[in-house]
Structure formats: C-alpha cells, structure tokens
Amino acid sequence: MASSQRRLGDLAALTQGSLVGDADAAIERVASVDEADERSLTFAVDERWLARALRSRAPAVLAPSGAAQSDADRNGKTLILVPNVRAALAQILASFAPLLPRGEFTHPTALVEEGVNRGPRVWIGPHVIVCAGATIAADCTLLAGVYLGRGARLGARTLLHPHAMVLDDCIVGEDCVLNASCVIGSDGFGFVRVGAEQIKIPQIGNVVIGDRVEIGACTTVDRAVTGSTTIGNGTKIDNLVQVAHNVSIGEETAICAQTGIAGSTKIGSNCVIAGQVGIAGHLEVGDGTVIGASAKVISSWPAGSHLSGDYAQPHRKNIQQQVLLRKLPKLFAQVRDLAQAIDDSRKPR
C-alpha cells in the first residue's frame, strides 16, 4: 500500500467509528463532495449533504451515526459512522497532514543569544532570532524568521509559524500555535494630547496567553499599558484580528477575522464573535455571548447575550427592526396617499 493511502478500517479505528462496507478498501485523500474522485473519502455533516455524498464519485463517506446502512441506501459505498463528523474529520485530516520538524536542531543562520533558557528537543529554523533571557520549553518548533524577544517565554510543544513574533517579556502557554506574521506584544495605541501635540504613553506591560491557544496570521495582540493583556486557555483567534492593550479574553472563546477589540474591554469565556465585529473600549461582554458578523458593540452585555446589527442589540429585536425597515417604502406610500386624500378633501368643490 502506498504511503499516501489509508485503509478505511484503520480510519474507522482512528475515529472510533463504525464501519459499514469494505474495511480493506484504501483511499488516498479527503475531499469535499464536489471535488471527490474514485480515490477519495468524502464527508457529510447532515442528511442533505449525505444524499449528495452518496451520489458522488467517492467510494467512501464519513457520515453521522444512524445514516442509512443497507447496500441499496448507501449506493455501494463504504461508510464510517461517527457521532461527530467534524471532530472525526479533524482526526483524519491530521493523519494526512505533513509532519512539522521536531527534535533538537538549530539552523546555522539562526541567532540565539547567550542566556537563553532552552529546553530539550527544541527546533529552531533559519533566520530565527532568540534574544537573551528568553525561555523556550521542551518540544517547541520555531519556523523560519521567528522573533522571540528578551524575557519572552514559550510553553512546551508550542509552534511558531514563519515570522511570528513574541516580543519582550510576553508569555505564551503550552500547546499553542502562532500563525505566520502574528505579533504578540506590540505597543498598545496610547497617546495623550498636550495642546496640539500627541504624546506617547509608554506601554510597559506584557501579554499573557494561556494553553492551547491558536492565533491567526497577521493578528496583533498589544501589550498592556501596565499589567497584562490576557487570552485564556483554549481560545482561538482568526487572521487579521486586533486585540488592543489591557484587553482580557476568557477561555474557549472564538474570534473570527477582521474583528477589532478596543482597549481594556473584557470578553468572557465560551463566546463566539463573528467576522468584522467592532467592540468599543472599557466594556464587558459576558460568558457565552454570540455576536453576529459586522456588529458594532458600544455597550456592555450580560452573559448569554445573542447580538447582531450595525449597533449591536439583541438578535431577535434586530431581526424585527429589519423586517419593519423593509416595509417602510410601502408605509411611506400609504402615508403619502392619505395625505393627498386629505388635501383633496379640503379643496373647495
């Protein structure tokens, strides 16, 4: 069997799924329904997608438990049945992902200053700079062009993609992933006006990131004025997000691309913030809050809120207003006709 191939029986075991069909059949890749061919495993997250998957060219389908299992119903395809298709898909894709470099290594073009506290099996790629006083725990990987500032700390098994930066005195926990060109610990945007001049307020705090955090490409997390900008365990932040100074984000929160969070705002745990959301400074957003795309949040909200709208408000209220707005042209026409009728009734006959 070619190294790129996977037995379906092995994939079922990997995901702890139930296999219906040929356990010895092999696939070479995972593909969406539209891109699947005779060498693909495809996947279906619900009944609608399952119907399409069973009509696809793929010989095998990753499907929800309880999917049709008879030969006729499954159209001759092998099924791997799992309770959570997305979670199982993540496991399978991980088995196909190229291995990242691991183990003890320092590229000859890297600059590692004296006084670095370096754990075992740390891999340091080309043109990496690690400044004096930095700490790199065991099994970390620093890919090309990474910068680790003075006194910065990386927890065990953390991965920094090319050109990621962790600046002076900032702390990143264990099992984190910092994607390409993200910046941890850039100066917060703090100035005070003295007459016509803007005077910079020194940003002398740091950033503290918990364990199992992933931060997307070109995202910036600013250091605090004093104290720490903090991101809790398990939080995931997409590309091109701005987290300003002294922001606090709780655990297991998800923040999508192009969101901006202004200074000193507190975001709770288990929140979901969709793309292009803007959150003003010095606010509190409670645990479990969901904020729809492009919302502007200008006031604090309690735990469990579901917000949307140009100026964020409860989602149901926003939808009701949108329905009414669509009725305004008709209402305007009715009011205009009534006004015309009143004017006509007042004319001398």
Q: What is the pLDDT of residues 10-65, one digit of tens each?
A: 999 999 999 999 999 999 999 999 999 999 999 999 888 898 999 999 999 999 99
The CA–CA distances, whole Å, from 344 to 6, 337, 340, 349 equal 82, 10, 6, 10
Same domain, 306 and 234: yes
Looking only at the bridges linking them, the beta strands covering 191-194 and 197-200 are: antiparallel
Same domain, 115 and 191: yes
Domain identity same for 112 and 90: no
Note the pLDDT tens digit of each residue in 148-207.
Answer: 999 999 999 999 999 999 999 999 999 999 999 999 999 999 999 999 999 999 999 999
Q: Is residue 323 part of a domain?
A: no
Helix (H) or strand (E) holding 29: strand 29-30
245 is catalytic: yes
pLDDT of residue 148: 98
Compute the distance between CA of residue 21 and CA of residue 59 in angstroms, rounded to an integer: 10
DSSP code for 145: T
Q: Is residue 327 part of a domain?
A: no
pLDDT at 106: 98
Residue 1 forms part of a structural domain? no
The full DSSP string for 205-223 is -EEEE-TT-EE-TT-EEEP
The answer to whether residues 243 and 166 belong to one domain is yes
Last residue of a domain, one of 96, 119, 151: 96
pLDDT at 233: 98
Nearest to 32 by CA among 58, 14, 51: 58
2 versus 289: the higher-pLDDT residue is 289
- Which residues form the domain of 280? 105-313
Dump pLDDT digits (tens) for 104-157: 999 999 999 999 999 999 999 999 999 999 999 999 999 999 999 999 999 999
pLDDT digits (tens, 9 = 90+) for 242-284: 999 999 999 999 999 999 999 999 999 999 999 999 999 999 9
User: What average pLDDT does this structure show over 327-344?
Assistant: 84
Cβ(40)–Cβ(28) below 8 Å: yes
Q: Which CATH number does the domain housing residue 115 bear?
A: 2.160.10.10
Task: Say if residue 257 is in the same domain as residue 286.
Answer: yes
CB 297 within 8 Å of CB 312: yes
Per-residue pLDDT at 339 exceeds 60: yes
Q: Is residue 263 part of a domain?
A: yes
Residue 66 sits in the same domain as residue 109? no
pLDDT: which is higher, 34 or 322: 34
In a domain, 206, yes or no: yes
SS3 57: coil
Whether 130 and 245 share a structural domain: yes
Query: What pLDDT sits at residue 67?
Result: 76
Q: Tell me if the pTM is above 0.75.
A: yes
Q: Above 70 in pLDDT, residue 81?
A: yes
Residues 80 and 123 occupy one common structural domain:
no
Same domain for 266 and 181? Answer: yes
- pLDDT recorded at residue 69: 66
Q: Which two tokens stand for residue 272?
A: 């979901």
- The residue among 61, 96, 131 that closes a domain is 96
Local structure of 96: helix, strand or coil: helix
Domain closes at, from 44, 63, 96:
96
In a domain, 324, yes or no: no
Q: Are residues 82 and 198 in the same domain?
A: no
Number of domains in the chain: 2
pLDDT at 1 over 60: no
Q: Is residue 319 part of a domain?
A: no
Catalytic residue among 163, 245, 282, 306: 245
> 3-class DSSP state for residue 150?
coil
Specify whether 147 is located in the same domain as 262. yes
Q: What is the CATH number of the domain that holds 77?
A: 3.40.1390.10
Pair 289, 306: CB distance under 8 Å = yes
In the chain, the percentage of residues whose pLDDT exceeds 70 is 98
d(CA 156, CA 237): 20
- Shared-domain flag, residues 176 and 87: no
Helix (H, G, I), strand (E, B) or coil at 71: coil
Handedness of CA 63, 64, 68, 71 (dihedral sign): positive
Residues 6+ apart with CB under 8 A from 303: 268, 286, 287, 288, 289
The pLDDT value given to residue 333: 85
**How many CB atoms lie under 10 A from the CB of residue 319?**
12
What are the backbone angles phi and psi of residue 159, rounded to the nearest 5°? -115, 125
Rounded to whole angstroms, how far apart are CA atoms 37 and 22?
17
Distance CA 276, CA 309 (A): 12
> CB of 186 within 8 A of CB of 173?
no
Q: What is the pLDDT of residue 68?
A: 66
Note whether residue 173 is domain-resident.
yes
